[in-house]
């Protein structure tokens, strides 16, 4: 990052315009340096695959639950002891809390948002 900032500074000293600096950085380092990459098949895939994985996981859970319910429809003998009440959605709360904590912690520790703000401030100061 220090080398990139230095190069931006050098290009500004050479009198390059904002767009020329952006074009140079994209050509040298790739689209990720803009924090706003163009819509390409790869970026679409990067957004769609996690969503597809979540939908597929939900479908698998529903399919397994329905199959389990179908298997239970056989009548039970009268002397079979009755189990306790079904747990419900409360069993998922600890997992959801942990997932949110891990997500928030990793976002905070990687410093993503401050880096985005620093890039926006640096590009706002370039001559355009």
* Mean pLDDT for the stretch of residues 32-60: 86
**Distance, CA of 93 to CA of 72 (rounded, Å):** 27
**Distance, CA of 55 to CA of 69 (rounded, Å):** 21
Q: At what angle do helices 112-124 and 93-110 cross, to 10 degrees?
A: 40
Count the neighbouring beta carbons within 10 Å of the beta carbon of residue 47. 10
Helices (H), 14-92: 18-29, 41-71
* Mean pLDDT for the stretch of residues 99-121: 77
Question: 């390409």: which residue's tokens?
Answer: 40
pLDDT the model gives residue 81: 67
Question: What is the pTM (predicted TM-score) of this model?
Answer: 0.35
**Distance, CA of 12 to CA of 18 (rounded, Å):** 8
14-18, 55-59, 119-123: range with lowest mean pLDDT: 119-123
């Amino acid at each position: 990052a220090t080398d990139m900032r230095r190069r931006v500074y050098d290009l500004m000293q050479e009198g390059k315009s904002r767009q020329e600096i952006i074009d140079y950085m994209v050509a040298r380092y790739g689209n990720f340096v803009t924090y706003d990459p163009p819509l390409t098949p790869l970026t679409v895939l990067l957004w769609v695959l996690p969503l597809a994985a979540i939908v597929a996981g939900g479908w698998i859970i529903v399919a397994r639950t329905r199959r389990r319910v179908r298997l239970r429809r056989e009548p039970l003998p009268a002397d079979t002891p009755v189990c306790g009440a079904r747990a419900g959605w409360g069993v998922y709360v600890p997992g959801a809390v942990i997932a949110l904590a891990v997500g928030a912690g990793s976002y905070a520790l990687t410093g993503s948002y401050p880096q985005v703000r620093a890039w926006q401030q640096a590009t706002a100061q370039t001559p355009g």
